[in-house]
Structure 1
């Protein structure tokens, strides 16, 4: 499927996600305010870390391996079965730990021990979250875009209903519960849509672990786990630092600007996940990979630049419509944040190349290094420039990240070309006549 067609179909998913996110955003802004917004940001990042520990980090590996073994259904099923068993087992273990340490987590992350119950809700939903993410990863790897689109649309609508209703009736606690359980509820929609797909029989997802599949998934699991742990942890630490030095409301202003960036960048990030990662997994030649990278750059970068300019010009209207007057101080963050977004999208594109090419060591090191650097720069810049410093730190960190990743990808392309030349040379030698 072409990038343009995938982008158009994915646009349905993105439009739904954006609209539901904007409605939820307005509900949260009205009912919980800037300080509550900061708490929700902490909890959402905590969910990212927790679900990655529960095996959801396997999703990227499942997508890549499913696409790479497009002509071997036996291998695909072994990978699916192994990933599902690992994810369910780890989600149960993590869930037990959540229940045991719910009070400590509530005090450390939410600054309120009375909120401990939300971690119990999250623990109960972890197995369903793990199963849903892996089913979507399989669907993505099989390039079954129709199911992928519908499942995501239905999931977004379910999240809207849950978040809106629970926030309205139970305020901050209700919002936290909604974010904890809504990913699990979407499993119902995904399973229903996949029930008659010829390429999937649910009984194939259970059985003995496959050692070969386990080895194949291990590198991707490490990359997925690193990605899911490093940046969310950095964001938690940054938000905590802002709350301590500038106040919880100031942290809420930054969380609002960060969330706005996540929403408008969905078109690019979800397209990368749906189209780019499976496509990279199929590519064998350096020239084809370079061409694919350039094609995505030509589509993504202009979209982000134009979007950033429009958002900056309309920043006052956006705050009024999507938030409330209480969030007006966040307008000073728009310029730096949007510049950082325009740079960081290049890093995301190249980061997916590292995922698709299984550049495990490079990926893990860069993710950890630049997540730590983001926190370090934020601490330094906030002390010098106040709240704007964290957005400045994001811009600087994004510039450095893209520079390093570009060098690494260039090296990978050179290695691919060398291997291709060597293969051609070997094939030529093996077919040449032997003279006595």
Structure 2
């Protein structure tokens, strides 16, 4: 058992690192070919793709994993559920596609100031059918606890997707970059289909079961709260930033944000794979609080060291991962790293709500975090112009961390009172 766990952990780590490096490779190619201004405009499509990849098919992959694990030993129930989930996913994708096709012109004008990007928006909206299938498969794979199969999907899919990226960006510029980003995600179609065929014989039927639909709808609501908050907030901030300092300034912010996401994703992967399952299994209030506090201290210590290393080696880091022409003022980078520090701290505490399936608390947390960011940006940009976006990032994450820590203290007090 220990050997299997170790192999699964190694496979998961390799998959996450591969996915991270492929994402950074695309970013590097775009900076080389399109410059910092290109990164600024591409940022909107990055947010659209992150929204679609999470919400494609209704955002039910976590729900699929839950109920596949629950019905695993009952073939009849599993078949009925998968047919209902397949129907739900397909219908949700159709609705989403109609929204993107119908709203492409308005979205292009709103985000970029003209309609020339509406075809790309339609393309992205149709690509989510592939994302929905991938989400369906990974939900089944995770529900069956096939960690190595999931890792193979991520690793092989990322490598398949990255192969044509340089040609696409160099030949077709921004349009090619959008297609490249889609392929990095859609590359998982091939290994996903293969892994699903090895695990189960799926013969999906189109069926509507109110009970299963209601269960899956709850997961759609949770995912909708995620995709309707921070990604949309970032799109709003990027548009305002382009108005204040131009697309090059917005591109500088976008480049730094993507590097932050890459660093944060490694820590979030650890929290998802190791921390949250352990937290979910704990029932004693004192042990839960103790585990959260210990993990918080360890993660902040490691991340703090990594952040200081990035700051002092910033010239080398940015020249390797972006370009030698990329520059960000040291004080602005400090704000970004401070924001990342408190953001990962808030994640550690916030995973407690996820582990205990506190849906309302999760939704409220997403809204509060996004609200802090918007308010901080409006104030800081008014006082400091384009520099304000970095100040707002640090300030909003610090405030949200304080809210999360206060929530943890309240939870600890309530559980200790219940135990006495």
What TM-score does the superposition give when structure 1 sets the normalisation length? Answer: 0.85
Give the C-alpha shift of residue 67 in structure 1: 5.5
Partner in structure 1 of residue 117 of structure 2: 115
Deviates more, 1:404-413 or 1:352-361: 404-413
SS at match of 1:387: helix
What residue in structure 1 maps to residue 207 of structure 2?
Answer: 208
Structural mapping, 1:226-265, within 5 Å? 226-265=225-264
1:139 corresponds to which of 138, 141, 145? 141
Q: Structure 1 residues 28-37 or 344-353, which shifts more?
A: 344-353
For residues 172 and 74 of structure 2, the distance between their equivalents in structure 1, rounded to whole angstroms, comes to: 50
Q: Deviations over 1:227-254 (max 9, x none)?
A: 1110001100111111111111111101
Partner of 2:11: 9
1:407 CA drift (Å)? 3.5
Cα distance 1:375–1:76, how it changes in 2: closer, same or farther (>3 A)?
Answer: farther
Tell me, which stretches of 5 or more residues in structure 2 are unaligned? none
Q: Would the aligned equivalents of 2:319 and 2:325 in 1 still touch at CA under 8 Å?
A: no
Once the 2 structures are TM-superposed, how far is the Cα of residue 325 of structure 1 from its aligned partner?
3.9
Distance of 2:7 and 2:87 partners within structure 1: 34
Residue 32 of structure 1 is matched in structure 2 by 34
Distance 1:292 1:29, change over 3 A: same
Asked if the contact 1:60/1:224 (under 8 Å) is kept, the reply is no
SS in 1 for 2:145: coil
**Mapping for residues 42-57 of structure 1, pairs under 5 Å:** 42-57=44-59
What is the aligned counterpart of 2:177 among 175, 178, 182?
A: 175
Taking the aligned partners of 1:98 and 1:87, their CA distance within structure 2 comes to 17
Gapped regions of structure 1 (runs ≥ 5): 423-436
Instruction: State the alpha-carbon separation in 1 of the partners of residues 346 and 78 from structure 2.
Output: 30
Q: Deviation string for 1:397-430 (max 9, x for gaps)?
A: 11221222233345556667788x69xxxxxxxx
What is the CA–CA distance in structure 1 between the aligned matches of 2:279 and 2:66, rounded to whole Å?
A: 8
Question: Could you tell me how far 1:263 is from its partner in structure 2?
Answer: 1.0
1:127 paired with 2:126, answer no
Following the alignment from structure 2 to structure 1, what is the Cα–Cα distance between the partners of residues 49 and 283?
Answer: 36
1:104, 1:245 → 2: CA distance?
A: 22
Counterpart for residue 370 of structure 2: 371
Any idea what SS the aligned residue of 2:357 has? coil
Q: Alignment partner for residue 149 of structure 1, among 151, 159, 165?
A: 151
| C-alpha contact 2:58 2:88 (8 A) present in aligned 1 | no
What does residue 344 of structure 2 align with? Answer: 345
- Corresponding residue number in structure 2 for 1:301: 300
- More divergent stretch after superposition (170-179 vs 18-27): 18-27
Change (3 A) 1:271 1:249: same
Q: CA deviation at 1:394?
A: 1.3
Segment of structure 1 superposing worse, 226-235 or 395-404: 395-404
Rounded Cα–Cα distance in structure 2 between residues aligned with 1:350 and 1:219 = 23
Distance 1:44 1:6, change over 3 A: same
Structure 2 CA distance for partners of 1:211 and 1:370, relative to 1, 3 Å: same
State the alpha-carbon separation in 1 of the partners of residues 91 and 338 from structure 2: 42
Distance 2:128 2:385 in 1: 38
> Contact 1:57–1:228 at 8 Å: present in 2 too?
no
Q: Distance in 1 between matches of 2:406 and 2:80?
A: 35
CA contact (8 A) 1:159 1:183 kept: yes
**Aligned counterpart for 1:188 among listed residues 183, 187, 190:** 190
Instruction: Find the residue that maps to 2:207 and give its secondary structure.
Output: coil
RMSD (Å) for aligned C-alpha atoms: 3.0
The answer on whether the counterparts of 1:223 and 1:355 sit within 8 Å (CA) in structure 2 is no
Distance 1:262 1:289, change over 3 A: same
Residue 299 of structure 1: how far off its partner (Å): 4.9
Distance 2:301 2:267 in 1: 11
TM-score (normalizing by structure 2) = 0.88
Cα contact 2:57–2:132 (8 A) shared by 1: yes
CA 1:408 to 1:298, structure 2 compared with 1: closer, same or farther past 3 Å?
closer
